[in-house]
A = this chain, B = another copy of it.
Amino acid sequence: MTLTGQLLIGQRAVTGSRGEIRAFNPATGEALEPVYRGGGQAEVELACEVAWAAFDSYRETGLEDRAAFLETIASEIEGLGDDLIERAMAETGLPRGRLEGERGRTCGQLRLFAEVVRAGEWLDVRLDPALPERQPLPRVDLRQRHIALGPVAVFGASNFPLAFSVAGGDTASSLAAGCPVVVKAHSAHPGTSELVGRAVQQAVAKCGLPEGVFSLLFGAGREVGQALVSDPCIQAVGFTGSRAGGLALLATAQARPQPIPVYAEMSSINPVFLLPEALKARGGEIAEGFVASLNMGAGQFCTNPGLVIGIKGEALDAFAAAAGQAVKGSAAQTMLTPGIHAAYEQGVGQLAGSGKAREVARGQAGEGPHGCQAGLFSAPAGDFLADEALQAEVFGATSLVIECTDLAEMVAVAEQLEGQLTATLQLDDGDLAAARALLPALERKAGRILANGWPTGVEVCHAMVHGGPFPATSDARTTSVGSAAIQRFLRPVCYQNLPAGLLPEALKDGNPLGVTRLVDGERES
């Protein structure tokens, strides 16, 4: 497929009217063709208008039709073949294996949401039948279902050019919920975005859906994103990226005449607690696992383990020495963009220059222009507790080991943490009491609590929570990965005494959709 550098608005391809976007190969610095032209206010409005025009029809598509659409998107993405992988490799510096895996995850996610749509749990059907004889007052017939919120603005993330981008989790869950989607592509991978966007566009056409179900916009700077979130047709926002970026969109969404929900996944340092028995028994093994997780994707994962907390002593020293050795041996990996690399260098510099964090080890310096030189630092818990700056996320393969005097100080560190996507416990049987002391704080701070694993690696399934209290996300009540992500884009509507001819299928007598229902408070599956 030849890339054209155009915006995709419904079934059209439109040449943008604003500033240029150019992809670069971060491994070589080489500029990639074509040049993308950004959209302006007019293109944003057009995309939002066609999305709005598609909304009422799309949100009432049958379960099977909507599921088939999601599956068609997956097939169309697979149909792009190696063109997609090669373009993504060139634009991101990520290795083939990782991108092939990510494509599998992206398509698997679309197919999971197809199954979720079919199962119909998301409709949350509730029926309270009329009780005409009830005293002192009869009860009317009340039926509830969930409907789509409206067109959703999705922002592609740089670090997962497929799974959190044009047809990633936010798009899949929005479409599953019945919401048209307008994607703002991340400028780091415009070619990958166009390829995937054309696959979605094709799926819309193949499934005979209204064209406005999907549009893809490009834009340098913040203008397109801000215009998109301000547009009255947009009813929710999905975002994965920086804290500053997420907060800016949140402020815009809240300042609208009609405020809208923003699901921004922003910032997390993913603390790992090394409990004493586990540390003593297998500190070396834990160090190895830790550095493997730290280095994954050059540390450019939302769930990168950026903080390790242990009780000071021989075992923690041995862990730090082993981890330091592994970090020292870590080859530099190319980072996604010059901007991310510069921010990483700055973050590591601030940590090193804080006067509080001691350098344990640095990895190998890269030969290419944007290599991530891994880093391991350590600091006493007292300093960590006294200085909020040590909690700042350094996006990349650098972590900080916090040395506590005892379990009580470990709990104090947990209590001081900001909201997190994950919290990890390394523990053995003898550590259960210590783990119990930490758990209440961890439940309050994190969306996912792991034992004896590593936070990188987020399974796409039903029980996953990729979310957490602020500032991990802007809305702790949800997840952006897994089937429950669909709930972000729905709201309940109750129908009282509606004639059968007006009731939506999901609420009709006899349960024609065959979905699980709560009837008079009793679950009926």
Binding site for B on A (CB under 8 A): 56, 115-116, 119, 121, 124, 126-128, 137, 139-140, 142-144, 147, 149-150, 250, 254, 258-259, 261, 419, 427, 429, 432, 435-436, 439-440, 443-444, 446-453, 457, 459, 461-465, 467, 469-471, 474-479, 483-484, 490-499, 501-502, 516, 518, 520-521, 523-525
Separation of A63 and B150 alpha carbons in the complex (Å)? 37
Most buried by B among A142, A436, A447, A475: A142
Q: Which residue of B lies closest to A427 (CB)?
A: B499
Q: Which of B144, B483, B484 contacts A463 (CB 8 A)?
A: B144
A494 contacts B464, C-beta separation under 8 Å: yes
Separation of A119 and B519 alpha carbons in the complex (Å)? 13
Instruction: Tell whether A462 pairs with B520 under 8 Å between CB atoms, given A453-B497, A496-B451.
Output: yes
A128 contacts B463, C-beta separation under 8 Å: yes
Q: Which of B259, B469, B498 contacts A470 (CB 8 A)?
A: B259
A496 contacts B128, C-beta separation under 8 Å: no
Separation of A457 and B142 alpha carbons in the complex (Å)? 12
B498 contacts A492, C-beta separation under 8 Å: no
A462 contacts B521, C-beta separation under 8 Å: yes
A459 contacts B140, C-beta separation under 8 Å: yes
A483 CB contacts on chain B under 8 angstroms:
521
Q: Which of B261, B453, B470, B523 contacts A140 (CB 8 A)?
A: B453
A462 contacts B126, C-beta separation under 8 Å: yes
Q: Which residue of B lies closest to A493 (CB)?
A: B443
Q: Which of B439, B450, B452, B492 contacts A484 (CB 8 A)?
A: B492
Shortest A302–chain B CB gap in Å is 14
A462 CB contacts on chain B under 8 angstroms:
126, 128, 144, 518, 520-521
Q: A121-B518, A147-B443 are in contact. List 16 more A-B contacts (CB 8 A).
A: A56-B444, A119-B523, A142-B459, A142-B461, A142-B463, A144-B462, A144-B463, A149-B477, A254-B254, A429-B499, A439-B502, A446-B493, A448-B494, A462-B521, A469-B491, A483-B521
Separation of A63 and B490 alpha carbons in the complex (Å)? 28
Shortest A412–chain B CB gap in Å is 15
B496 contacts A450, C-beta separation under 8 Å: yes
Q: Which residue of B lies closest to A477 (CB)?
A: B491
A490 contacts B477, C-beta separation under 8 Å: yes
Q: Which of B150, B465, B497 contacts A144 (CB 8 A)?
A: B465
Q: Which of B254, B419, B444, B493 contacts A449 (CB 8 A)?
A: B493
Separation of A516 and B517 alpha carbons in the complex (Å)? 12
Q: Which residue of B lies closest to A465 (CB)?
A: B494
Separation of A115 and B115 alpha carbons in the complex (Å)? 31
28 contacts between A and B (CB under 8 A): A119-B521, A119-B523, A126-B484, A128-B462, A128-B463, A137-B457, A139-B461, A140-B459, A142-B459, A144-B463, A144-B484, A254-B254, A259-B474, A432-B499, A432-B501, A432-B502, A446-B493, A447-B494, A450-B496, A451-B498, A462-B521, A463-B494, A464-B494, A465-B494, A467-B491, A467-B492, A478-B491, A516-B523
Separation of A446 and B144 alpha carbons in the complex (Å)? 13
Instruction: Tell whether A492 pairs with B450 under 8 Å between CB atoms, given A259-B470, A464-B144, A523-B516.
Output: no
Separation of A444 and B116 alpha carbons in the complex (Å)? 23
A432 CB contacts on chain B under 8 angstroms:
499, 501-502
In the A-B complex, list the 10 residue pairs whose CB atoms are closest, starting with the nearest: A465-B494, A144-B463, A142-B463, A126-B463, A450-B496, A448-B494, A128-B461, A523-B525, A56-B440, A128-B463
A478 CB contacts on chain B under 8 angstroms:
491-492
B521 contacts A143, C-beta separation under 8 Å: no
Separation of A104 and B521 alpha carbons in the complex (Å)? 20
A450 contacts B128, C-beta separation under 8 Å: no
Shortest A126–chain B CB gap in Å is 4
Shortest A91–chain B CB gap in Å is 25
B259 contacts A449, C-beta separation under 8 Å: no
Q: Which residue of B lies closest to A524 (CB)?
A: B525
Shortest A72–chain B CB gap in Å is 21
